[in-house]
């Protein structure tokens, strides 16, 4: 790996929403040198022709994935199922891989098959991947050679619930209820019948009231140690008229009665040094609760 402060980074699958947002962040990072951005569909075209917000900021052209060269870090922003089939080849190009798809979020092949309805293409690699939520796994991520992305709704739910579970305060005999409302960008850049603007605009649509795959991430990450959560999880997902943003409301019961001050203390102890977490606690006004 590069021994200087600058990391050479390339992105595979840079034409979608995830790749575009990652590009924006990379371009403004002081310790990153963007080397290549790969896309099978747009090879040879300028990146800003697909991401016009990057015009005058990025002069790189998309390359074909077959033309990638070795770098320090490789980001994979590919459709579900692609990374797991190609992971061996990509690991030959970089000492560290960050896969932003769902392919390596789960460590258990059995849990993956239960929630995705198919066997994993590389089950022997799954346990090597670190779930890429720094608030929970920062030290492991620093040393990992393979880091997974995290589900959008799962991230919101886990961050909201983790302090209670890590403190052992939740009564797991009563089901965990998670209600997630999500914007249209969660569906990705390729339009579908449910994400087409004329159908989505002005509408509220429950698209997966039960059985959502992000439930598996809660089961994995809210359990004790490496043991999965044994509590029943009821997870519902609703599409609302937003582009960006997620609002998750989660309901649990505690083992014992807690006053409000004790509850806030649990959250402050876990998140007071976290740069991406803001605890919203206002007693008056319109903005008393978190908003997307």
The CA distance from 168 to 233, in Å, is 17
How many degrees, rounded to 5, is the angle at CA 70 between CA 41 and CA 135?
85
Q: How many residues does the chain have?
A: 292
The CA distance from 146 to 128, in Å, is 7
The CA distance from 206 to 268, in Å, is 33
Which of 58, 63, 77, 152 is the catalytic position? 152
CA distances for 278 relative to 72, 73, 171, angstroms? 32, 29, 26
Question: Please, are residues 209 and 237 in contact by the beta-carbon 8 Å criterion?
Answer: yes
Burial string for 72-100 (b: 16+ CB within 10 Å, else e) reads: bbbbbbbeeebbbebbeebeebbebbbbb
How many degrees, rounded to 5, is the angle at CA 228 between CA 246 and CA 104?
60
Six-digit token string for 242 = 């937003």
How many Cβ atoms sit within 10 Å of the Cβ of residue 29? 12
- Tell me, yes or no, if 58 is annotated catalytic: no
Q: Give the residue numbers marked as catalytic.
A: 152
């Amino acid at each position: 790996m590069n021994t200087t402060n600058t990391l050479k980074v390339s992105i595979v699958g840079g034409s979608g929403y995830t790749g575009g947002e990652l590009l924006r962040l990379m371009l403004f990072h002081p310790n990153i040198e963007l080397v290549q951005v790969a896309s099978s569909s747009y090879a040879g075209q300028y990146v800003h022709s697909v991401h016009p917000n990057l015009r005058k900021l990025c002069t790189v052209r998309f390359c074909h994935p077959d033309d990638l060269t070795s770098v320090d870090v490789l980001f994979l922003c590919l459709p579900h199922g692609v990374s797991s089939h190609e992971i061996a080849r990509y690991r030959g190009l970089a000492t560290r891989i960050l896969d932003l798809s769902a392919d390596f979020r789960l460590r258990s092949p059995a849990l993956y098959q239960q929630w995705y309805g198919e066997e994993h293409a590389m089950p022997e690699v799954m346990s090597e991947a670190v779930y890429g939520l720094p608030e929970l796994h920062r030290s492991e991520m620093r040393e990992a050679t393979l880091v997974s992305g995290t589900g959008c709704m799962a991230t919101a739910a886990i961050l909201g619930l983790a302090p209670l579970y890590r403190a052992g305060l939740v009564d797991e005999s009563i089901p965990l209820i998670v209600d997630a409302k999500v914007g249209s960008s969660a569906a990705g850049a390729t339009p579908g019948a449910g994400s087409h603007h004329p159908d989505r605009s002005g509408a509220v649509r429950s698209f997966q009231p039960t059985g959502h795959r992000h439930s598996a991430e809660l089961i994995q990450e809210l359990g004790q140690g490496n043991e999965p959560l044994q509590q029943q999880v009821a997870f519902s997902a609703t599409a609302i008229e937003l582009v960006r943003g997620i609002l998750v409301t989660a309901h649990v019961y505690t083992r014992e009665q807690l006053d409000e001050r004790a509850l806030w203390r649990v959250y402050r102890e876990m998140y007071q040094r976290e740069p991406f977490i803001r605890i919203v606690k206002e007693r008056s006004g319109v903005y008393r609760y978190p908003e997307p």
